[in-house]
Structure 1
Amino acid sequence: MKKEVILKVKDNFVKELKAGNPLIHSDAIMNGKDLKEEGAIIQLVDERSRFIGRGYYGKQNKGTGWVLTQNEKEELDQSFFDKKIKAALSERATFFKSNDTTAFRVFNGEGDGIGGLTIDYFDGYYLLTWYSEGIYSFKETILHSLTALADYKGVYEKKRFNTKGTYVEDDDFVMGERGEFPLIVKENGVNFAVYLNDGAMVGVFLDQRDVRKTIRDQYANGKTVLNMFSYTGAFSVFAAKGGALKTTSVDLANRSRAKTIEQFSINAIDAESQDIIVEDVFHYLKYAVKKQVAFDMVILDPPSFARSKKHTFSAAKDYKNLLKDTIAITNKNGVIVASTNASGFGMKKFKGFIEGAFKETGEKFKYMEEFSLPCDFKTIREFPEGNYLKVVFIQKLS
């Protein structure tokens, strides 16, 4: 059993923690000097030494640790982790039974009761992502829970120990049998090639599943589609599957071309019939505006922060201007899929960017529909930052 450290919380942080927000901010702790080693179990008390919660110390960009229980009698032992993992597996039972979708999230950090940890499932393989050295110190306990409760072919991991979420290079294989990559998984009947052993990213962002399906089933047919910040072309594949006349995928990363061709190929789509452009998106936008190139649908899903040789992009500061350029290359009655994973602001502020962009361009629009995280990405009301995804379908009116 790990030694427990008692930490006193400043009065102005107590209410939020008692209300169920599990994130422990570093400036909330009065005796932070008592924290020596990440992974230490911590008991939080108020300035009058009354119990608030029990959790662990682990530094990441969001804070200095997480509350895991508000039950004073509950210990953070093997049975605690067994209970959390079992509940998460049970809540995803319908996903495990699906033949059309074989990649999804099994455990979503604080939404499932353990901040700093996510677990994804890829057709028999589990991928654990650790966001601090603190949660990583519980690795053997958590692996014991997972492998005792779930059938698996193999287990992989990603380490994001840096306070900026930077990937820690290491052998990602943990146990079981090593996968043969690319591993072909399905999402709503569409194939994805994923790599659990090749750096920080695996090849697809699972949180956009509902958005991709909507594009395929309701919007893509007969349309010209531009996919900006396209990564491996997942949106483009779904648009093509939905009957798009043509897709154009734009991303700065050199490997995006080969990765996008691969995704098209495993879905029997001729990549030669699509446009795949390796270029700075901001430069491409200027080119498209100058040449009056326009599309029926534009998918705009930038990272929350990005830097190229000539541009630095922050969603909180720059999304509105990026959207203004996007409006300029969207045909009348066309649709913009505006998306952000920035956790620092909510849907209301995001819609403020959208409304501001249309007002400043003098164009009119209407909201079609909106999305947040899919159901396997479980969140809690007490921690709104955890529900980071904001996607809005917008029609540019004639």
Structure 2
Amino acid sequence: MTIQWRELIEKAWNDRKILHESDEFDSWRVFHGYTEGAKGVVIEKFGSMALVEYKDDIREDLEVIKDALLQCYPFTLIIAKGDQSVGLRLKHRMFTLHGDFSDAPEFAQEYGIYYSLLPDTMHNCGLYLDARPVRKWLANNSEGRRVLNLFSFTGSLGIAALKGGAKAAIHLDKSKDLLSRIQKSYDKNSLDIGTRSFIQGDIYKHLPKAIKNGQRFDGIILDPPPKVYKSPYSEHQPRGQDFSKLVSLCSKLLSPGGWLICLFHRYDATWDQSDAEIIESSSNTLKMTERFTSECDFPDDNIDRKLRVTVFEKIDT
């Protein structure tokens, strides 16, 4: 079947008018192919750069896609990134369609906060755009709090909390390669990273240790990947995002009145079921206070297929 790229991209662009007319951020998903006519294809904008990511071999269509994007916006750089499922070597999967890598932006900007980017990585270049409302929430609800950012990746959620007035943000991630990327964002935002702002290690080792040492936090960000890694420090076999075990640990680290914000990436349970699981896993020490999801650049009529975000509060017992 021939895909009418020009029509699809133009419609998607027009449907996001509220985003591209805003001066509060410069990055969003331009085209969400899963619900906008081309499953497996997503196009994202970071400043004047566009990333075209695809899971099927659409290389013959890339010139048309490039021209359609340039009709919508004067991009200085357009990069194609084919998934490894396409079956091609890396050099044949990632290349420029327009412009030069020297024009790649180092940072994305949202609500006056800067986040470092690495556009030439095959994995996410540093900022999950569906979590834009999460970063805004953190900037509005972190003042004076000591915040723990779990599975921190490039630290964007913790940085949003700090810019929102958090007195501390501790990032925990298994990858030691992320520290330099977090450092870039700290420097750009005139933040002091300190000696304990980033901990490289296994979450199943560090959380029980923190509990034993009596540590407490006023906010915890829990955004595990769709499938949590196996751990020699875990007494069980983690499945999926492993919320049950992780929340049982997080609830012991929260101060009364502290919040736990959970980001769900799952399709095997409804939102209500996921929230009930969280509350039960906390031994009923948490209550649900707020829910929200991604914005208009991630369109889907089925709310349970979108990013689901729930905020819980530690009950003062």
SS in 1 for 2:85: coil
Letter in 2 for 1:185: A
Q: TM-score, normalised by structure 1?
A: 0.73
- Once the two structures are TM-superposed, the CA of residue 319 in structure 1 deviates from its matched residue by 1.4
Q: CA RMSD in A?
A: 2.3
- Whole-Å Cα distance in 2 between the matches of residues 257 and 130 of structure 1? 29
Judge conservation of contact 2:147–2:161 (CA < 8 Å) in 1.
yes
**5+ unaligned residues in a row in structure 1: which ranges?**
1-40, 42-75
Counterpart position of 2:45: 121
- Whole-Å Cα distance in 1 between the matches of residues 210 and 36 of structure 2? 44
Letter in 1 for 2:248: K
Q: Compared with structure 1, are the counterparts of its residues 155 and 250 closer, same or farther at alpha carbon in structure 2 (3 Å cutoff)?
A: same
Letter in 2 for 1:157: A
After TM superposition, list the pairs within 5 Å mapping 1:281-296 onto structure 2.
Answer: 281-296=203-218
Counterpart position of 1:366: 287
- Given candidates 293, 301, 313, the residue that maps to 2:238 is 313
- Structure number, greater radius of gyration: 1
Counterpart position of 1:335: 259
Q: TM-score, normalised by structure 2?
A: 0.90
- 1:6-41: CA deviations, max 9, x gaps? xxxxxxxxxxxxxxxxxxxxxxxxxxxxxxxxxxx3
SS in 2 for 1:314: coil
2:185 is the alignment partner of 1:263? yes
- Whole-Å Cα distance in 1 between the matches of residues 272 and 199 of structure 2? 33
Counterpart position of 2:144: 222
Letter in 2 for 1:395: E
2:197 is the alignment partner of 1:275? yes
Counterpart position of 2:314: 396
- 1:308-330: CA deviations, max 9, x gaps? 552663336x2111111110111
Letter in 1 for 2:295: P
- Given candidates 153, 157, 176, the residue that maps to 1:254 is 176
SS in 2 for 1:333: strand
SS in 1 for 2:53: strand
Counterpart position of 2:106: 183
- Given candidates 280, 298, 301, the residue that maps to 1:377 is 298
Task: State percent identity of aligned pairs.
Answer: 23
Aligned residues: 311
- Whole-Å Cα distance in 2 between the matches of residues 168 and 305 of structure 1? 26
Judge conservation of contact 1:118–1:128 (CA < 8 Å) in 2.
yes
**5+ unaligned residues in a row in structure 2: which ranges?**
none
- Whole-Å Cα distance in 1 between the matches of residues 129 and 102 of structure 2? 19
Counterpart position of 2:249: 325
Judge conservation of contact 2:76–2:103 (CA < 8 Å) in 1.
no
- Over 4 Å off, 4+ runs: none
- Given candidates 204, 224, 228, the residue that maps to 2:127 is 204
- Whole-Å Cα distance in 1 between the matches of residues 273 and 223 of structure 2? 16
- Whole-Å Cα distance in 1 between the matches of residues 238 and 44 of structure 2? 29
Letter in 2 for 1:368: T
Judge conservation of contact 1:226–1:298 (CA < 8 Å) in 2.
yes
Q: Compared with structure 1, are the counterparts of its residues 374 and 149 closer, same or farther at alpha carbon in structure 2 (3 Å cutoff)?
A: closer
